[in-house]
Amino acid sequence: MPAKWFTACRTASGKPTIRKKPAPSNRRRSSRKANMTDINALRTRLRSGEHAFADTLAFIAEGYDYQPQPFRNGDVDNAAGQNEGSCKTLGLALLEGLSDEEALLAFGEHYRAVAATPEGSDHGNIRALIEQGLAGVKFEGEPLKRKA
């Protein structure tokens, strides 16, 4: 075997012993554990105050399989395929146990725009989330599943 696979160690008597390095583990990291690390990193980024909605969507695309679902958010009804950004973001919040505040922050600049214009009527799903919280969000099916 090539020398790089062996290490030389000295015994108590000072003589060298040659041992083979242990083989690298073939065990794969648990996707659940890796995902929890990623979700914790996302939570940290959400609190930065400058999180972009596109970053939320990229996070979802990287770690989840998406299937459009009809959903209700407070008084706002959304057909499958309608308001997909809201569907993905709210689906992530429910699946990963985000708080109401974290769910709002995940909407990035859109949430900040709504917060700056409380009397406005745009971004109905964000406004409904502010009023009802995640408790007011109901999906007919699961929009997101963690990628294997």
Q: What's residue 28's pLDDT? A: 46
Q: What's residue 72's pLDDT? A: 98
Q: What is the pLDDT along the chain (148 residues), one digit of tens a residue?
A: 444 444 455 566 666 655 555 555 544 444 444 466 699 999 999 999 999 999 999 999 999 999 999 999 999 999 999 999 999 999 999 999 999 999 999 999 999 999 999 999 999 999 999 999 999 999 999 999 999 8
Q: Whole-model pTM?
A: 0.76
The vertex-31 CA angle with 25 and 54, nearest 5°, equals 135
Instruction: Kindly state the tokens that stand for 22.
Output: 């242990």
Distance CA(61)–CA(66), nearest Å, equals: 8
Domains assigned to the chain = 31-146 (3.20.160.10)
